[in-house]
Homo-oligomer: A and B are copies of this chain.
């Protein structure tokens, strides 16, 4: 279907996809990136969802991303393997370190060195090879863990860099990193996604999911999610243990 005008129906109605308006969307199957993906679709982009399997502790992200996309058949899905198991010092890649169950001060131990730089670099390489100039990432710098690579300063800097790094960037200078959630609270994200018809029961945020599929409810990611639903006044479909 690439390169042609078409319309498709998904659970939230009919969306027009414009000719040649394509985007790569970094997509983990979590609350934020699912919302970013559906926002990109709602803006008329024909989307390739790019899920990075980086041997993360919470590797059910990969399964979760596939389940979510069953409702969005028009989205092409690429799962890319990037082995970060050698990255020491992060609770998400280093099994010797536990995911904290209480709020920590400063940048938490779940920080993965240069993760979003890596993810955006892979997305940029894919994008250029497919002649796509628009990349979406669901980073958020309001209700977040303080990761440096979720902040607007980083995104702006990456965008400047990638326009110098690539042939397309050098020739056109308009490679764009879209961050539709960056200045929204978690509650605003949930409200926006709910209005776009997202079924958040099919998204998973927890870093320490139980084997029965229930979320821990106490990791950073769970805490922001729980609070977000509460603040939005929307029922949280997550099953916590």
Contact = CB atoms under 8 A, between A and B. Distances in A.
Q: How many copies make up the complex?
A: 2
Contacts of A168: 113
A158 B86 CA distance: 23
B154 A167 contact: no
A111 interface: yes
Interface in A33-90: 78, 80-84, 86-90
Given A88-B130, A130-B88, A165 B158 contact: yes
A86 B78 CA distance: 11
Q: Give the size range of A's interface with the partner.
A: 35 or more
A153 interface: yes
5 closest residue pairs by CB, A with B: A113-B128, A114-B125, A157-B161, A161-B161, A121-B121
10 contacts: A81-B83, A82-B82, A87-B125, A90-B129, A113-B128, A114-B124, A114-B125, A148-B169, A158-B165, A161-B161
